[in-house]
Amino acid sequence: MNYGFIKVAAGTPEIRVADCRFNQNNIVSVMKEAGKEGAHLLILPELCLTGYTCGDLFLQETLLKGAVSSLLSIVEETAAFDLVTVLGAPLLHGGKLYNCAVVFAAGKILGVVPKTYLPNYSEFYEQRHFSAAPDDLSEITIGEHTCPFGTNLLFRCREMRAFVLAIELCEDLWAASPPSIRHAGAGATVIANLSASDETIGKEQYRRDLVAGQSGRLICSYIYTDAGDGESTTDMVFAGHNIIAENGIILNESELFQNTVTYAEVDLERLSRERRRITTWAPSDPAGHTSVFFSLPEKKFHLTRAFPMHPFVPADMADRKRRCERILTMQSMGLKKRLAHTNSKTPIVGVSGGLDSCLALLVTARAIDLLNRSRKDVLAVSMPCFGTTIKTRSNARLLAESLGVSFRTIDITAAVRQHFADIGQDETDFSVTYENTQARERTQVLMDLANRENGIVVGTGDLSELALGWSTYNGDHMSMYGVNGSIPKTLVRHLVQYAADSTDDAQLQKTLLGILHTPVSPELLPPSEGQISQKTEDIVGPYELHDFFLYYMIRYGFAPSKIFYLATHAFAGVYTPAVILQWEKVFYRRFFAQQFKRSCLPDGPKVGSVVLSPRGDWRMPSDACVALWLEDLEHISL
């Protein structure tokens, strides 16, 4: 069913207090709208069939009979709708009156959930009219419908096992122990809250935080729907604040004081996977719950939920600046500890004039500042060879000068040629041996310099390169501390941009901007007319695509076909589906083939939720087979 997505709706219909027929007609209108929009689930407010503010009219038999009559008409009139609907109504049961949520679909009432916690303070006086939910499960008969009545009901979709709905009402969420806690523990992935929360100053943000927090705590989708315009304003005003949240994030919410329907697509597959991944999220015994099954046909709907092209990079500029500063601090603090622990005199960074080594040198300068030592203790080393251009060589020197660190140029051309002669490599043969010999020579120089200068080699390779295996084994793949190992390439660029934007040093800013405009390249092949001839993204594909694939593969464990589906939405108009599919296959082939390089990575700080360290978040056999992942992509028709 749409790669684990279902479309949910939180609606606030226009009502008239105690006018059940008027309310019935508007509820059906909202249901029709939600159905046309492709919604699987519609949640309506607390007591919306009568109005929450009926007061002592709830003690009138006429109102209660009118509510039941309108409820039965709604259920019958919408029997052909492919939609699960939950609405609020006052219902008599066992001689008591309850504030209830009624769940129905396909012309059948599936169950009734009474409210557990009845507020009786400040402007609320529900205990005057209603009884709190009984502890036991029973049956209620409404017209010709007989269904379960109780708080511990789970409504399960036969066609989608991950779609398990549970209900609580308004104050239930405000209580110290909300019913949703036990519902989620018993397997509910979607919690619906039917509310009539009046508006007071400051309550909007509190409500928003409460809903988002509960969805995060329970790893669920939480749908909160609120009473709005039409309720009595004798003592209160209702704003219709509808909120749809998923695992701590608000996906969508309504504007206040507008009776409307709010939609979002919730990813139940993601929620189920997160619950499996987080071992401290322990399911409880579902024996105390009763399951009620329903069916929903497969629905096609347009995915409106935003999936950013760059999931590692905050879209909001202020958030991005905060994130960049925090990451640079974490990197430098990690390196500071390593330098202090090893009593290293000289941190050594091989600088190419490119982005990764630029970031590593920025971090190293910060780390030495934290140790209150001279930046001259840092040694930046440029090692030009066959592919080095004047531009990148100049970038390396200017960066070192701008940061005030020591700088040395060691031309490795002669050493590489000697090695070619030793192993019988033809210098005109631009094979992988030609490239890797240079990378390994550079690493040998850095390692031996570290021994000579009583220092450590600070690694420059980033997370994206680790994922693709775009490094030379025991060459640039190796260091004594890798500060960039958990930074994806798309984020490296923004970290360098942040450093350029935040410095007062005009020369440093100019140098950083020059590096930002330099194509990403290992520079292991001779330049063409003085320009870089070997551009990484021409060979392995766009890093923004690979970072997207990496994020959803590692962070959420999505299947390749689902990642492709999300990528076609995120990159619509940027890459064709055929191009996305081409590079996704490359990503999986390289990711599986290159695990052996990740199995022996140097230490480095974890700064995000996606990390490939063999000692931390990612443990994978080096000889795992990629066949199933590629097979999943073969089923895609373009």
Q: Closest Cα partner for 547 from 526, 524, 567?
A: 567
- Identified catalytic residue from 20, 157, 170, 385: 170
Rounded CA separation 70/64 (Å): 10
Other CB atoms within a 10 A radius of the CB of residue 306 amount to 10
| Helices 355-370/506-516 angle, 10° precision | 150
Contact present, 364 and 339 (Cβ < 8 Å): no
At a CB cut-off of 8 Å and minimum separation 6, what does 344 contact? 338, 454, 455, 456
Q: Give CA 420 to chain center in angstroms.
A: 48
Active site residue 300: no
Distance of CA 245 to the CA centre of its chain: 12
- Please name the residues in contact with 440: beta carbons below 8 A apart, sequence gap of 6 or more: 472, 474, 475
The per-residue DSSP string of 31-45 comes to HHHHHHTT-SEEE--
CA atoms of 519 and 389, how far apart (whole Å):
12
Place of tokens 């490359």: 586
Instruction: Tell me the residue length of the chain.
Output: 638
Active site residue 204: no
- Measured distance CA(432)–CA(115) in Å, rounded: 69
SS3 114: strand
Other Cβ atoms less than 10 A from the Cβ of 168: the count is 27
36, 41, 33, 30: which is closest to 5 by C-alpha?
41
Residue that has been written with the tokens 């430098």 in this structure: 332
DSSP state of 523: -
Tokens of 634: 């073969």
Residue 531 has a CB neighbour count (10 Å cut-off) of: 10
Query: Which residue among 7, 20, 46, 147 is the active-site one?
Result: 46
Q: How far apart are CA 410 and CA 258, in angstroms?
A: 69
In the residue annotation, 115 being an active-site residue is answered as yes
3-state secondary structure 172-226: HHHCCCCHHHHHHHCCCCEEEEEECCECCCCHHHHHHHHHHHHHHHHCCEEEEEE
Contact 179, 173 (CB under 8 A): no
- Please name the residue ranges forming H helices in 122-176: 171-174
Report the half-sphere exposure of 633 (CA within 13 A, side-chain side): 21
Which one of the listed residues 7, 115, 336, 597 is annotated catalytic? Answer: 115
Total Cβ atoms within 10 A of residue 363: 30
In 3D space, the residue among 129, 31, 46, 44 whose CA is nearest the CA of residue 79 turns out to be 31
Residues with catalytic function: 46, 115, 170
